Chains A and B, each alone.
Chain A
Amino acid sequence: KQEVTQIPAALSVPEGENLVLNCSFTDSAIYNLQWFRQDPGKGLTSLLLIQSSQREQTSGRLNASLDKSSGRSTLYIAASQPGDSATYLCAVRTGTASKLTFGTGTRLQVTL
């Protein structure tokens, strides 16, 4: 059974700092990995999708990497802004299954 872990559970950084969020998964036979953002009381917004054959994806100030063999992914946020404050969720699609297994998320607060 796939298990997804995210550390840290919460993170507070000053504006402008670069930061890394971590995601680990137990079954390396993944199909893809997706990073989401969730604002309080809102739904999930997809940030980046990495296919199993890819090593990284970039969108603006965000860069996600994937190391299947070690069961890890990182989300790098450059030059953080207060608007980046949200919960970031990592989700893995394993093998031929279509369902996603979610991590418990990292709650990020970027302070002025």
Chain B
Amino acid sequence: DAGVIQSPRHEVTEMGQEVTLRCKPISGHDYLFWYRQTMMRGLELLIYFNNNVPIDDSGMPEDRFSAKMPNASFSTLKIQPSEPRDSAVYFCASSFLSGYTFGSGTRLTVV
């Protein structure tokens, strides 16, 4: 089991550019979560899916953020246009029944 796989590991982009973060959950897990971590705010849930359907997107900060899960093995988080305050580490996690498994995260820097 390769765990939850996120790409890229690091992303540096200029303000105004579109950024796409990718996640491959663990096979068989039916929940997928996107979190953002910053020093100031800690870990924040952005959105989560159950069986590929978005359940709660109340944590998505603005309309600039969008997430999709076209199938059980892939999800994307898109920021368009990106802003410096979006700089953070973005984690994807998946779950089945109980415990969560997190990916290694994508460190996003918007300059």
Contact = CB atoms under 8 A, between A and B. Distances in A.
Contacts, number: 45
A16 B105 CA distance: 32
A51 B98 contact: yes
Size class of the A contact interface (CB-based, 8 Å): 20 to 34
A99 B56 contact: yes
B61 interface: no
Contacts of A43: 91, 102-105
Interface string B89-106: 001010100111111110
Interface residues of B, number: 21
Given A99-B56, A105-B42, A46 B99 contact: yes
A102 interface: yes
A44 B102 contact: yes
Given A32-B98, A43-B91, A46-B99, A104 B50 contact: no
Contact of A99 (B45, B91, B98, B99): B45
Given A89-B43, A104-B42, A98 B99 contact: no
6 contacts: A44-B91, A91-B100, A98-B55, A102-B42, A102-B43, A104-B42
